[in-house]
A and B are shown apart, each in its own frame.
Chain A
Amino acid sequence: MSTGSKAGKDQTPVTAHAAEIVREYGPLAGEASVGGVTHDGHRVWAATRDGLIAFDPVSGETTRTLACAGDAGTAFDGTHLYQITEARIDKIDPVTGTVVASIPAPGNGSDSGLTWAEGSLWVGQYRDRKIRQIDPATGAVLRTIESNRFVTGVTWVDGELWHGTWEGDESELRRINPESGAVLERLEMPRGTGVSGLESDGGDLFYCGGGGSGKVRAVRRPKAAARA
């Protein structure tokens, strides 16, 4: 496990702001621990031990359940869902729930956090504190970004790369420089509120998986203009 080369990333410390939690959904199902979240333009999908659960973010009603185990991150490319399970990434037809393809996960099972952007999949490697850009067809690693925190969720929105982190009681949403990994912005979640899975809705909301709480939380994305 890589632990080196973290020092120096925080050389210009960024002040953390408190994350504004807009709404909480769930607990979703029986003993659902949320491992990943994604957004398909209408619905929010949450990966749980018992399957993928889609709910309407307005009503909070569960609208669809797919019986495929979700151990970690989830993504949506406009047509298919991607789901990290054990040490692979399954490509899933969201209508039928059929797995249409599988590629090996780059972290060989130490993966957590997944998003789709610009033709690539971006995968978080939890305790390795890394984000990998991979080819969604072959799984080949195209790029590696190093963070200095455990990576528990990844998302792209408006050209910004955000990742969720969760170590012990502390969790944050962080915007990082996709080239250097330098931290540009920090949204601090309340203590003990874990972040497992992160996805933007393309607008001004993030959806965060709540780990063992079985909840999904909507967090407001700060407006670019409001930033110092």
Chain B
Amino acid sequence: MDSLIAASARALAAGDALGALKRVALRDDPPALALRGIAMAQLGEHSRARELLRRAARGFGAHEELARARCLVAEAEVALAMRDLGGSPRSLAAAAATLDAHADHGNALQARLIAARKFLLLGRLDEAAATLAPLDARGLAPSLAAVAELTAAELALRSLRTGAAQAALARAHEAAERARVPALLAEVAEARAALSRPAARRRSAGGEETLRLDEVEALLGSDALVVDACRRGVGAGDAWRPLARRPVLFALARGLAEAWPGDVDREALIAYAFNTRHPDETLRARLRVEVGRLRALVAPLTGIEATARGFVLKPHGGREVAVLAPPIDGDQASLLALLSDGAAWSTSALALALGASQRTVQRALAELEAAGRVRAIGRARAQRWLSPPLTGFTTILLLPAALPIE
């Protein structure tokens, strides 16, 4: 590299983005463009930064593929901070392979972390897990290690493995302290706070209590028969029957579970599941059919017996019955509970799961989106809804590690 590039990089490494910019402001050769892009990103000028990094990547010659790959990674990082998730995962993977081939393992890992975070933000949890699994955070720069552990924690939380999430957050905290980046520490603290907030309520005939995430995990891991109104399904131990697409069956299961160990009379079940106060003979017949369907679906977990006035749950092996409900009532809370699995949901799937009209769901989603509590990706029919990440993923640009120069 030449002297002003070195001086500019020296300023950037010392945290002086303006000083770095000043030294190369008027130059358009690729290393100068890359440094300008990184300085602009640190100053929060994301779209300008992206354009400069793109031009830098294009400007490096075919024999300078290492420098080009570093520019691609920096550009992807900026795009992630902008929440522009449109870029191709293939070019990022190719850049990571190039970096590995040149023994630049730090930047290669950063490229894969960006890919994993992108998959998480897109609700593609399996791909996020597959990208993250082979990464080894040990022996890395502390800030990179902290981001890797935060990403692992997010993934663990989405699949309700709070023990794994807590362990990852503890490692993230330790790495963030070593990195001495206040924004990273704040993100870890925020994610840890999310673990101790009420995540759900346990309702039964006797009343209700609030549960933290680890208590939810413990309940789902116990032998109890759980009717889960957050994820819309029925589970016991390892067995799980999703009912998100069967709102009537789910309403019946929930009605029966809330009355357990008592029974529920037919009129009440009809009113609850079919949303009407005027039961007639056709509805009674329909109730018999739907109960029959539910009975068949949950047969391995529990029996459903007819009583003189209605129906009662008879779980196998003397299991307890519990109902998990979102921490507060209302359409919005139910939507958030459904989205908390981190997957991407369509409006119609949400409406179906909640047994509400699409119009109602859209209204609730619009309010939640305005409050920043849900995110939409895609447009029109391809639009999908996601909860925002539990960990921020926003504030940290690790760009200095991606300097395109030796």
A interface residue numbers (CB < 8 A to B): 1, 33, 35, 49, 69, 71-73, 84-87, 105, 107-112, 125-127, 167-170, 192, 194, 196, 211-212
Contacts and interface: CB of A to CB of B under 8 A. Distances in A.
7 tightest Cβ-Cβ pairs between the two chains A and B:
A109-B4, A71-B6, A72-B3, A126-B2, A168-B63, A71-B3, A212-B406
Contacts of A196: 1, 406
A109 B3 contact: yes
A107 B2 CA distance: 9
B102 A192 contact: yes
B305 interface: no
Interface in B59-95: 61, 63-67
A199 B13 CA distance: 28
Given A85-B3, A126-B2, A167-B64, 9 more contacts: A86-B23, A105-B3, A107-B2, A109-B2, A109-B7, A109-B23, A127-B29, A168-B64, A196-B1
Interface string B100-131: 00110000000000000000000000000000
A106 B7 CA distance: 16
Contacts of A110: 2-4, 27, 29
A191 B276 CA distance: 78
Interface string B325-357: 000000000000000000000000000000000
Interface residues of B, number: 23
Nearest to B64: A168
B178 interface: no
B204 to A, nearest CB: 61
A86 B3 contact: yes
B363 interface: no
B61 A167 contact: yes
Contact of A86 (B4, B63, B406): B4
A72 B2 contact: yes
30 contacts: A33-B6, A35-B3, A35-B6, A49-B10, A49-B13, A71-B4, A71-B10, A72-B2, A72-B3, A86-B23, A87-B3, A87-B4, A107-B2, A109-B5, A109-B7, A110-B2, A110-B3, A110-B4, A110-B27, A110-B29, A111-B2, A111-B3, A127-B29, A167-B63, A168-B66, A169-B63, A170-B63, A192-B102, A192-B103, A212-B406
Contacts of A72: 1-3, 6
Contacts of A194: 406
A35 B61 CA distance: 22
Contacts, number: 78
B2 A168 contact: no
B2 A125 contact: yes
B102 A84 contact: no
Interface in B17-61: 23, 27-29, 31, 61
A49 B403 CA distance: 15
Interface core residue of B2, B6, B65, B66 (most chain A CB under 10 Å)? B2
Given A112-B2, A169-B102, A69 B63 contact: no
Nearest to B65: A168
A126 B67 contact: no
Contacts of A111: 2-3
B70 to A, nearest CB: 12
Contacts of B67: 168
Given A167-B61, A211-B406, A84 B3 contact: yes
A74 B27 CA distance: 24
A2 B174 CA distance: 49
A49 B8 CA distance: 11
Nearest to A211: B406
Contact of B7 (A86, A108, A192): A86
Contacts of A212: 406
Contacts of A33: 6, 406
Contacts of B6: 33, 35, 49, 71-72
A124 to B, nearest CB: 9
Nearest to A123: B3
Contacts of B2: 72, 107, 109-112, 125-127
Contacts of A1: 28-29
B36 to A, nearest CB: 14
B225 to A, nearest CB: 59
A33 B7 CA distance: 12
Nearest to A125: B2
A141 B306 CA distance: 102
A191 to B, nearest CB: 9
A126 B2 CA distance: 6
A184 B100 CA distance: 35
A110 to B, nearest CB: 5
Interface string B146-186: 00000000000000000000000000000000000000000
A58 B118 CA distance: 53
Given A84-B3, A194-B406, A169 B66 contact: yes
Contacts of A169: 63, 66, 102
Interface core residue of A87, A110, A167, A194 (most chain B CB under 10 Å)? A110
Given A112-B1, A126-B1, A168-B63, A71 B406 contact: no
Contacts of B406: 33, 194, 196, 211-212
A74 B221 CA distance: 68
